[in-house]
Amino acid sequence: MSRIGKSPIELASGVAITVSKGNLVTVKGPKGELSQQIDPDLTLEVKDGVAELTRPTDQQRHRAMHGLYRTLIANCVEGVTNGYKIELELVGVGYRCSNTGQLLELILGYSHPIYFVVPAEVKVTTVTEKGKAPTVVLESIDKQLIGQVAAKIREFRKVEPYKGKGIRFKGEVIRRKAGKTAAK
């Protein structure tokens, strides 16, 4: 039995879930609206501020889908109530970032600046403080989209293990390697 799928989804005040034809679940809340298509075999019941997902049988496929779609719907509920926020630090000498609306400009030690257009659903801000690494702050209600955008930005300069330079998540610990030692 899926332990994740069995647990109910608590709905905060102001959050409404509707299931339309074709099992399209729409979650509306104070921060916006998200939709998630779920498997046609599963059923979603909403009553007394609690949403519960049930499966028809104990087949392997149904058990796998049960936990997956319950988590995806819970992420939608969390997104429309609180939203998601990811902070990326640019660690390296001369690394800078700035944004003009949805256009993010990154200077990461290459011979040219990198321009990245952030999707309209994701709000981007940049913070540059003296003595601290420049930071890119991403905010959105869609967990999957914000994660993809953060991963794409990180790809421009991955953290290397010798000096620790690159783009990293705030608070991320990088395993460092020892460099070469001079032999005599």
Q: What DSSP assignment string belongs to the chain?
A: --HHHHS-EEPPTT-EEEEETTTEEEEEETTEEEEEE--TT-EEEEETTEEEEE-SS--HHHHHHHHHHHHHHHHHHHHHHT-EEEEEEEESTT-EEEEETTEEEEE-SSSS-EEEEPPTTSEEEEE--TTS--EEEEEES-HHHHHHHHHHHHHTSPPPTTT--EEEETTPPPPP--------
Across 82-101, average pLDDT: 95
- Confidence category of residue 168, pLDDT binned at 50, 70, 90: very high
- Confidence category of residue 180, pLDDT binned at 50, 70, 90: confident
Antiparallel, parallel or unpaired: β 114-117 and 123-127: unpaired
User: What is the tens place of the pLDDT at every residue in 16-69?
Assistant: 999 988 889 999 999 999 999 999 999 999 988 899 999 999 889 998 899 999
Q: Is the pLDDT of residue 182 over 90?
A: no
- Domain 3-81 CATH class label: alpha beta
Domain boundaries, the chain: 3-81, 84-169
- Answer whether 3-81 and 84-169 agree in fold: yes
pTM of the entire structure? 0.88
* CATH 3.90.930.12 corresponds to the domain 84-169: yes
